Amino acid sequence: MKYKTTADIEPLKGILGQEKATWAMEFGLKIDELGYNIYISGETGTGRTSYALNILKKYAKNKKNHKDWCYVYNFENPREPVALSFEIGKGKIFKKDIEKLVENLYDELISAFESEEYEKRKNKILDEYEMKKEILIKKLKEYGEKRGFKLKSSKLGIVFVPKNEDADTTSEEFLKLKRELENLALQVVSKIKELENIAKDDLLNLEEETGMLVINPMIDDLIEKYGEDYKVKKYLSHLRDDILENMYLFYLDVEELKSLNEKQNLKKYEVNLFIDNVGNGNMDSAPVILETNPSYANLFGKVEYESINGMIKTDFTKIVPGALHKANGGYLVLYIDQVLRNPYSWDMLKRCIQLKEVKIDTLTGIKPEPIPIDIKVILIGSQYLYNVLYRYDEEFNKYFKVIVDFDSEMKRDENNELGVARFIASYCNRNNLKHFTYDAVNVVLKYSSRLVENTNKLSTRFNKIAEIIIESNLFANIRDSEFVEAEDVKKAIYEKWNRINKIEQKIDQMYKTGELLISVEGKKVGVINGLSVINMGEYSFGRPVVITATTSPGNKGVINIEREAKLSGRIHDKGVLILSGYLLENFSKERPVSITANICFEQSYSGVDGDSASGAELYALLSSLSQVPIKQNIAVTGSINQKGEVQVVGGVTQKVEGFYHICKLKGLNGKQGVILPKKNLDNLILLDEVQDAIDKGKFHIYPVTRVEEAMEILTGKSFEYIYDKIISRINKFYRMSK
């Protein structure tokens, strides 16, 4: 599809190049059984997270079984707060209803206890008590006066003293009468105490009756509103009983509350709105939570504390939800590497999935009631971590049965090329950036293919494409251009590399000064220019490495000098052993190959690994054996097998560009080039400068399939000629070793 700019095409909606992954994701989301949680694997930048969040929000619209949750005081066991569930939006209403209840109780109870009716009934009880008390005292007084005694009140109670001061207080009759009156006084005091207790009971009953007249209608209204839920009804019943027992709290003034520290007692009438779906924006759809810091507390909740008079205290109002609580009834997205970095988070997550509940663990203090959960967990991570968990964690496959594997590349066809253009269009629209011309998009497509090292593929790491979009816009702005042109994209790519190629520049300087030795013209026996890739994190580049081989009579076979110096990796060691296999396969039919050969990467002071230089090592070895010189203007990459077949390797683009760069430093002569595996041609995506040099015959690419082809190009001799030379020398070595 030809278009002028990306402004002319429809922006991309959804994700591109992940058909298999999207099908797997849909499959996992449609199954609600235990264990069908999802692991999304793939490279960073492939759109895993954004895709997951978008499709989860889509599914969440049709899933509305989530609830509001409140923690309330447990009147039976204050250390274990009760969890109450409500329909969406009802939790907040319940909290307000309880707040309104408490607020109304302040006014209504004070009003009731200050009412004329209450005062009238209260006074009646007190008056009756006083009247009966006075009658008893009056009768006792009259009885005593008839017997010559006066009644007198003291701190010790009621006492009798003789009216006649001259009375004989020691006579037996006086003492007997006094004891009789004292016993009678004790009976009266006891009767008064009994009347007092009756009056107190009557007052308490009056207080309770008055309070119930206020409290019961309010609580009954709430029970009628929320009574379908047994736990809520039970809580309201206990709330009624506790308020009746503590009505005095509602008519204490502010100063009394402070002095009595009763504010803490009133806290038990509060409601902790633990999960508020309306406030969290989940009124019309299930929650979708991305937790980027999955610490234990952030995942499973916590209980906060406060300092009161130097003491650390807590209560049910300090219970804070975790991500599992917030995602309850919906979806929770986590980065697995972050989960594994937090102690105990991974094990507790599996436990919650298994038990279908979240329990907030505390070392001391309160123990909140666990909350049941209905949740689907989506983990995002690398393929490596998936393999590790699958292999070493027996429970992993039990609870994460669905893997969604994001590919890092997609086929390069017209649909996907247009898809990349549409992605550019949508990104530019979304971020208010300049749109790209058709030619600029083509440069981006080439860059995308270069990222995956394949002309037939495109990268799905759209974060890398987004970086180029942003940086290309900068250079278009500098030019004051209406659109981003091809030159802007090329400039952005060049500058991206230029910002991080310090090591490459230092190595170039060493070639210029001769510190690193290399020849890019002439011929040498047993010397060849191999090619390597130097990785510097985000940036990698190719550079030639001189490989030398020497041969002599002996029986030690091929000696890998890098291995002897402990600079060789296992794959490189294997590649060197394959050389011995090739020699035996091709040159030991008449007699044993009795040689000692040394192979070395010259001026290499760091580790060497990989088998991509095994071809170059073999060619240097064959050159040394045959004494036929190798052209130094041709570099080589490609691994070989024991049968002499040349096999594909990685990094061919960087290797070819690296040798071209050194040839340019030393002087291009039109004869230089690179031998590489024929099957690597599709992986060759060269810079315009290098491709132009090839097109103009200033630089050359030699694709080969077998060792024989490569040797003929490198030496300019037929392989039959080289073969005869090798056989002749092997025979000579054999005779010398006898």
Q: What is the average per-residue pLDDT within 565-589?
A: 64
- Picking from 234-238, 394-398, 476-480, 604-608, which range would have the lowest pLDDT averaged per residue? 604-608
pLDDT of 555 above 80: no
Q: Residue 65 has what pLDDT?
A: 84
Locus of tokens 């027996």: 394
Which of 448, 612, 614, 624 is the catalytic position?
612
pLDDT over threshold 50, residue 483: yes
Least confident range from 116-130, 136-150, 374-388, 428-442: namely 136-150
Confidence category of residue 266, pLDDT binned at 50, 70, 90: confident
* Cβ proximity of 96 and 170 under 8 Å: no
Average pLDDT over residues 357-361: 93
User: Where along the chain do its domains lie?
Assistant: 6-10+408-499, 19-66+282-405, 102-272, 516-737
- C-alpha torsion 528→531→534→535, nearest 10: -150
113 or 251, greater pLDDT: 113
Q: Which of 253-257, 419-423, 531-535 has the lowest mean pLDDT?
A: 253-257
Look at the chain and count its residues.
738
Average pLDDT on 495-501 reads 89
Token pair of 286 as six digits = 């299930």
Tokens of 669: 């002569």
The band of 473, judged by pLDDT with boundaries at 50, 70 and 90, is very high
pTM of the model: 0.83
Bigger pLDDT: 572 vs 22: 22
pLDDT confidence of residue 575: 52
The token pair that represents 535 in the structure block: 């990785």
Return the higher-pLDDT residue of 271 and 507. Answer: 271
Strand blocks (E) in 4-148:
38-41, 68-72, 82-86
- Alpha-carbon gap, residue 50 to 423, rounded angstroms: 14
Report the SS3 class of residue 154: strand
Q: What is the pLDDT of residue 705?
A: 95
CA 717, 718, 721, 723 torsion: positive or negative?
Answer: positive
Task: Please check the confidence at residue 56 and state whether its pLDDT lies above 90.
Answer: yes
459 vs 168, higher pLDDT: 459
Residue from 383, 375, 378, 295 nearest 335 by CA: 378
pLDDT at 144 over 50: yes
Q: Which of 109-123, 152-166, 223-237, 372-386 has the lowest mean pLDDT?
A: 152-166
The tens digit of pLDDT for each residue in 304-328 reads: 988 777 777 888 999 999 999 999 9
Confidence bin at 479 (pLDDT 50/70/90): very high
What pLDDT does 568 receive?
Answer: 47
Give yes or no for residue 610 having a pLDDT over 50. Answer: no
Dist. CA 8–CA 705, nearest whole Å: 46
What pLDDT, in 10s, does the model give residues 642-685?
898 999 999 999 999 999 999 999 999 999 999 999 999 999 99
User: What tens digit of pLDDT does each residue of 177-186 get?
Assistant: 777 777 887 8
Nearest to 473 by CA among 437, 422, 500, 423: 437
Question: Does residue 359 sit in helix, strand or coil?
Answer: coil
One of 92, 464, 655, 698 is an active-site residue; which one? 655
Is 612 a known active-site residue? Answer: yes
Residues in contact with 229: Cβ distance below 8 Å, sequence separation at least 6, in sequence order: 84, 85, 86
Report the pLDDT value the prediction gives residue 560, as an integer from 0 to 100.
46
Q: Considering the chain, what is the average pLDDT of its residues?
A: 87
Supply the pLDDT for residue 482.
Answer: 95
How much of the chain, in percent, has pLDDT values that exceed 90?
A: 57
- Greater confidence (364 vs 529) lies with 529
Output the pLDDT for position 290. Answer: 97
- What is the C-alpha separation between 347 and 144, in angstroms, rounded? 86
User: What pLDDT does residue 169 have?
Assistant: 55
Place of tokens 């029986």: 555
Query: What are 694-732's pLDDT values in tens digits?
Result: 999 999 999 999 999 999 999 999 999 998 898 888 787
> H-helix or E-strand containing 660?
helix 652-666
Q: What's the pLDDT at 612?
A: 66
Evaluate whether 627 touches 722 at the Cβ level (below 8 Å).
no
Backbone φ and ψ of 568, nearest 5°: -110, 140
Write down the pLDDT at residue 567.
Answer: 43
State the Cα–Cα distance between residues 644 and 585, nearest whole angstrom: 9
Q: What integer pLDDT is reported at residue 445 of this predicted model?
A: 97
Give the tokens for residue 399: 């609870």
Question: What pLDDT shows up at residue 569?
Answer: 47
Q: How far is CA 667 from CA 55, 504, 637, in A?
A: 56, 18, 21
Mean pLDDT over 473-500 rounds to 95
Q: What angle do CA 100, 105, 110 make, to 5 degrees?
A: 145
Structure tokens at 560: 């890998």
User: Which fold, 19-66+282-405?
Assistant: Rossmann fold (3.40.50)
C-alpha closest to that of 701 among 681, 721, 683, 717: 681
- pLDDT at site 708: 94
Contact present, 378 and 38 (Cβ < 8 Å) = yes
pLDDT digits (tens, 9 = 90+) for 186-244: 888 888 889 889 989 888 888 888 888 889 999 999 999 998 899 999 999 999 999 98
92: left (phi over 0), alpha (psi -120 to 50) or beta: alpha
Contact 416, 459 (CB under 8 A): no
Contact in structure between 368 and 73 (CB atoms under 8 Å): no
In this structure, of 155-159, 296-300, 448-452, 465-469, the range with the lowest mean pLDDT score is: 155-159
Q: Identical fold at 19-66+282-405 and 516-737?
A: no
CA 75 vs. chain centroid, Å, equals 39
Rg (CA), the chain: 46
pLDDT score of 227:
83
pLDDT beyond 50 at 636: yes
511/434: higher pLDDT? 434
> Regarding the domain delimited by 516-737, which CATH topology (the fold level of the hierarchy) does it fall under?
Ribosomal Protein S5; domain 2 (3.30.230)
User: CA 669 to CA 137: how far, in whole Å?
Assistant: 137
The per-residue pLDDT for 565 is 41
Q: How far apart are CA 512 and CA 508, in angstroms?
A: 6
| 655 included as an active-site residue | yes
Q: What SS3 string covers 212-260?
A: HHHHHHHHHHHHHHHCCCHHHHHHHHHHHHHHHHCHHHHHCCHHHHHHH
What whole-number percentage of the chain has pLDDT above 70? 90
CATH classification code of 6-10+408-499: 1.10.8.60
